[in-house]
A and B are shown apart, each in its own frame.
Chain A
């Protein structure tokens, strides 16, 4: 644990040190791209990373992305930063049912966590953004979130000296919208959750998780309960879309992926979210309608909310009280040790 923590700290700290060193450099000395190697925490598979070819990760770019991530100037009236909804101290989510944006306008969906975006390609609950970069650009313009225009954004950031310098160093250009998206995306790809008690358990460290959690894991992957049908793999998601019925009992339900694809089979489908750090991202479901992990288990135990398009994987489970507790205990073991690290890292960086 200590190794991982110090590793990441070292990487990020060195990234920002290099960044500021470069900012302090004389004009004549050409910027040297700092070598950057991403540390993949225990339990995550480095073969599965998704980094676009046109946006390689560099230390300077990540440092720039971090600065942008916390900068409210991304929004029209300079009150909403990325971190406003994706708050590092709240599991890179916001603890609200649905997102709150500029002027206090409410969105329609729950803020998803940012951890382990390194392993996913399509973004948003409905997968409409084909990359993190695309997702970032959309939300900057979203009238319920940041409400900004590209023109205004670029002009605002151009007026800030350290951004002008940083863009020259990172991209060799003026401030550009594409650069903003690439930098933020690169920063977000460093937000990784692994090395959870579960990862220690699965690599053979006995006693890493409780007996109850062990029983929960057995249930989790059992044919009978079969959570793993969708929450599969190292990141506990198949990156596919399912209708579990959440919100389908509303008068005007959110049709999810259908809104984007217009395929009837996509009605009410939302992306399977990662279960990494799941204890930190309540409330749950795309509409935040389920408050606690206990409620989530109860929700699936009931067989979701019946509707015409309900996934075949979602059916009444007839769990006993002990089984429900075991599943919750298991889910709790998926919270990475780096959650603590994030908390320290970001609460000290004003």
Chain B
């Protein structure tokens, strides 16, 4: 299990962002003058290829071929066991070992395959021992985890993407069940649309969805398709096109996949210097790569908006991508396939596959900072709470609208009594109605942050599923909803809220405590579904007023 350390992230973040331009967007060349060179030609098998990026593997220095396909790379010292690599848009990466001869090196590029719908997806998990033994007889099995076991696979298997198709919360919402297995518990997609498989699979089980668009029942998955957003799937995406009206399309609909024909393989990655079957893709390092599944809606209503939130944020202008924060280098890995053809690289050039999200409390907490100020005058204690979105390149909370944040403000006098609250801001109904000690915060001095969907015309639901599911509020995103309110905090912006308490000026000191928590789902939903989800504390301030 990998725990992300926010300290490391904060320390390295700026350096990383600057360096990433240098290392990862590595078809842009840095050319240094030097006397000793390696030179040669890049062809497509017959004709010279112009504009190919050529580099020494895992080095920064590179060159772009001219009209005759010629390249020249400066070197500092003699090279042993080095490799020259080449790439151009539309081709696989190509590589050749450098021998004794430093000139007339010829690199041939082969074109990318057309997409093959019959392709069989690779299993991410390392091959079990028994199968390995069998493979000695029946031929080799190569799963993702066989070559990238310790870091990349383990990072991925512990993140949300690997669980996308089997996450019990997701399946409870899909089937209309609860965590104890009871049926007919709203909200449930299948309760509202009993005959529809839905387009959930477009993102939650993309490998299945491509064989049967809008027809894959999430309960019918098997094998690799159950592995969610798997290694092989993402690394088969050549390009992403996002259209303005995203409502009619989602997930796989936006993607240009390249699944190779039988007997061939193909992976897209952020490197031009990993030879065939890999190919460089600039998209894989850009925010738009994540957009198909983190931007979209139902019935014309934008539900998931992380990508457009990012687009409108200062981060987009600075060029800080989703991957920069959600896939930061672990600063440990120097070789992503040790002993399996991988080479030693700068740790900074190897993105982790943590894909950090709402599962990681430390990561979540690093997104916001809270300050609490107090003012005592004329018998009134005024508490001002400033919550700044300091590190998320999108709103907090974001993505699935059931994610929410709740601020609770308490002021207790020296005798341990709560001060009388005279202000207006209170935790909304979805903070939960009941005993505050048990996490039901509705009505307490405080505030809720969320995008709230509601159903303006619940009559259709009533005529279909009866009144039981009708008045569910906040409403689930698959219904015909409208956005009632959206007070989430955009990137680098600050929410300021004020809370007034009555005090007689005695009974000092007063202790003001402000607590900001994150919930993965609304309290009333988690109660109905019997999900035992813990509140994730993001920030706590305690101020003593004398």
A-to-B contact residues, CB < 8 Å: 70-73, 76-79, 83-84, 87-90, 94-95, 100, 103-106, 346-347, 349-350
Kindly identify which residue among A71, A78, A83 contacts B460, using a CB–CB cutoff of 8 Å. A83
For the complex, give the distance between the alpha carbons of A83 and B465 in Å. 13
For the complex, give the distance between the alpha carbons of A70 and B214 in Å. 20
Name the A residues within 8 Å of B467 (CB-CB): 347
Q: How many CB-defined contacts (below 8 Å) exist between A and B?
A: 68
Does A105 contact B248, Cβ atoms closer than 8 Å?
A: yes
* Complex A-B: 17 CB contacts under 8 Å: A70-B463, A72-B193, A72-B195, A77-B215, A78-B195, A79-B193, A83-B463, A83-B464, A87-B460, A89-B460, A90-B460, A94-B460, A103-B249, A104-B297, A104-B300, A105-B248, A346-B463
- Residue B424 interfacial (CB < 8 Å): no
- Residue B472 interfacial (CB < 8 Å): no
Does A70 contact B464, Cβ atoms closer than 8 Å?
A: yes
Does B299 contact A104, Cβ atoms closer than 8 Å?
A: yes
| Contact-size category for B | 20 to 34
For the complex, give the distance between the alpha carbons of A338 and B462 in Å. 19
For the complex, give the distance between the alpha carbons of A264 and B270 in Å. 60
- Chain B 292-330 interface 0/1 with A at a Cβ cutoff of 8 Å (1 = within): 000001111100000000000000000000000000000
Kindly identify which residue among A70, A88, A103 contacts B248, using a CB–CB cutoff of 8 Å. A103
Does B196 contact A350, Cβ atoms closer than 8 Å?
A: no
Q: From known contacts A77-B214, A95-B457, infer whether A89 and B193 are also in contact, taking CB-CB under 8 Å.
A: no
- Residue B466 interfacial (CB < 8 Å): yes
Q: From known contacts A104-B299, A106-B300, A347-B463, infer whether A72 and B247 are also in contact, taking CB-CB under 8 Å.
A: no
For the complex, give the distance between the alpha carbons of A85 and B195 in Å. 18
Across the two chains, which residue of chain B brings its CB closest to A156?
B195
What 8 pairs across the A-B complex have the smallest Cβ distances?
Answer: A78-B196, A104-B299, A89-B459, A104-B300, A103-B248, A104-B247, A78-B195, A77-B214
For the complex, give the distance between the alpha carbons of A83 and B480 in Å. 14
Name the B residues within 8 Å of A350 (CB-CB): 463-466
Does A103 contact B247, Cβ atoms closer than 8 Å?
A: yes
Does B195 contact A89, Cβ atoms closer than 8 Å?
A: no
Q: From known contacts A89-B459, A90-B459, infer whether A104 and B196 are also in contact, taking CB-CB under 8 Å.
A: no
Across the two chains, which residue of chain B brings its CB closest to A349?
B463
Name the B residues within 8 Å of A73 (CB-CB): 195
For the complex, give the distance between the alpha carbons of A77 and B298 in Å. 13
Nearest CB of A to B150, in Å: 42
- Residue B349 interfacial (CB < 8 Å): no
Q: From known contacts A90-B457, A104-B299, infer whether A72 and B196 are also in contact, taking CB-CB under 8 Å.
A: yes
- Chain B 462-491 interface 0/1 with A at a Cβ cutoff of 8 Å (1 = within): 111111000000000000100000000000
Chain B CB count within 10 A is highest, among A73, A84, A104, A349, for A104
Nearest CB of B to A94, in Å: 7
Q: From known contacts A76-B214, A78-B197, infer whether A100 and B480 are also in contact, taking CB-CB under 8 Å.
A: yes
Nearest CB of B to A151, in Å: 15
For the complex, give the distance between the alpha carbons of A95 and B480 in Å. 12
